[in-house]
Chains A and B, each alone.
Chain A
Amino acid sequence: MNIRATSIAIVFLIGSNAWAAPPDPMVDPMRGPTPLTESATPPLMPPVENRDVRRMRTYSMQPPTIPHKIDGYQIDKNFNRCLACHARVNTEQTQAVPLSVTHYMDRDSNVLAEVSPRRYFCLQCHVPQTEAKPLVPNNFQDIDVILKRLSAPAPDKK
């Protein structure tokens, strides 16, 4: 009886981690320093960039971002507002960028007459951008920058 009680007490002690240092206060960039029990004041919603200037792709396979507002655009099984301009047949009138051929391919690379169902929902890959400050830092480097650094002669090694 006594042994059992001690063992239970030991298990509890180990389990509760009582001697460990108090954990760091959680820092969530979305919440800021507001404690969990209080609700943070939401920041102002940043405006969506609407300049209609094509942005550079950060890497060659990146889905291009949308350079305009898409408020209230209907994309469902009945209608796709994006295709009203970006579909192949409408690009002459609207001068919008047409979908690339990959959007007409099924997974076996057969080119279909219409947009492939798996590529129909544009916003799965293409998104508009806001003028917001990034919440977390990012040290992504363009491959060109890396290549340039690697191919540059290193004088101090010689």
Chain B
Amino acid sequence: MVKLIKRYWNIIRRPSVHFSLGFLTVGGFIGGILFWGAFNTAMELTNTEKFCTGCHEMRDNVYAELKGTIHFTNRSGVRALCSDCHVPHNWTDKIARKMQASKEVWGKIFGTIDTREKFVDKRLELAQHEWARFKANDSLECRNCHNYEYMDFTRQSVRAQNMHSTYLADRSKTCIDCHKGIAHTLPHIPPGQTSEATPPARASKEVANAAR
């Protein structure tokens, strides 16, 4: 084993015999561009709706539920794709999320949620992961489109004004705290299980939320 590594190390550290320095630098540059483009294109391909709904787990459960909601069908025709809410737009965060999502490949292979019954049983846990993620990043994926700075409160209903001008304005709550189940049907939430990642300082508030 050590011998093998040594052999390849020697090949790598030896100067090139056949190729010119120019070829290696320019070739490496072009190759790098091609690789980077291909890598990002392939990754963007996994962000498309066609890819997400390619599996019946997504198509028959969560995608079917999304179809009736305001994020799919509305007066202005702007709609959110799966990845708009579930994948961070920032590149490093996106890579981190994609690596996390490799667990979903495992789940697909071993059929963790391949029937409706299995999905319903597992749904609370899956939802809690998403809620925890949204809470941890201050509902970043909501805020990619819904920017607090540009909200016109006069166009909101009175109760929306009240909530947004208090809890959202003082940052004591983030979007997901109140807007759970806005794009998918909610499972039964047993008391005290609203979110797994509960900051200890806000425990008392979470108790109130959990009782919903």
* A-to-B contact residues, CB < 8 Å: 50-53, 68-69, 71-72, 74, 76-79, 81, 83-84, 87, 89-90, 93-96
Measured CB to CB, the nearest residue on chain B to A76 is B185
Measured CB to CB, the nearest residue on chain A to B162 is A95
Give Cα A71 to B186, complex, Å: 15
Q: A52-B159, A83-B212 are in contact. Are A77 and B188 (CB under 8 A)?
A: yes
- Contact in complex: B157, A93 (CB < 8 Å): no
Of the A-B pairs whose beta carbons lie under 8 Å apart in the complex, a sample of 20, sorted by A's number, is A50-B157, A51-B157, A52-B158, A53-B158, A69-B157, A72-B68, A72-B69, A74-B181, A78-B189, A79-B186, A81-B181, A84-B212, A87-B211, A87-B212, A90-B211, A90-B212, A93-B167, A94-B159, A94-B163, A95-B162
- Residues from chain A with Cβ under 8 Å of B126 in the complex: none
B151 at the interface (CB under 8 A from A): no
- Residues from chain A with Cβ under 8 Å of B159 in the complex: 52, 68, 94, 96
- Residues from chain A with Cβ under 8 Å of B182 in the complex: 72
Report which of A68, A72, A81 forms a contact with B70, defined as CB distance below 8 A: A72
- Residues from chain B with Cβ under 8 Å of A69 in the complex: 157
- Contact in complex: A78, B158 (CB < 8 Å): no
- Residues from chain A with Cβ under 8 Å of B69 in the complex: 72
Binary interface profile of B, 79-120, with partner A (CB < 8 Å = 1, else 0)? 000000000000000000000000000000000000000000
- Contact in complex: B157, A52 (CB < 8 Å): yes
- Contact in complex: A78, B188 (CB < 8 Å): yes
B30 at the interface (CB under 8 A from A): no
- Residues from chain A with Cβ under 8 Å of B163 in the complex: 94
- Contact in complex: B186, A78 (CB < 8 Å): yes
Known A72-B182, A81-B181; 16 more pairs at CB < 8 Å: A51-B157, A51-B158, A68-B157, A69-B157, A71-B70, A72-B70, A74-B181, A78-B185, A78-B187, A79-B181, A79-B189, A84-B212, A87-B212, A90-B208, A90-B209, A93-B167
- Residues from chain B with Cβ under 8 Å of A78 in the complex: 185-189
B37 to chain A, nearest CB (A): 40
Q: Which residues from 171 to 212 on chain B have a C-beta closer than 8 Å to any C-beta of chain A?
A: 178, 181-182, 185-189, 208-209, 211-212
- Residues from chain B with Cβ under 8 Å of A95 in the complex: 162
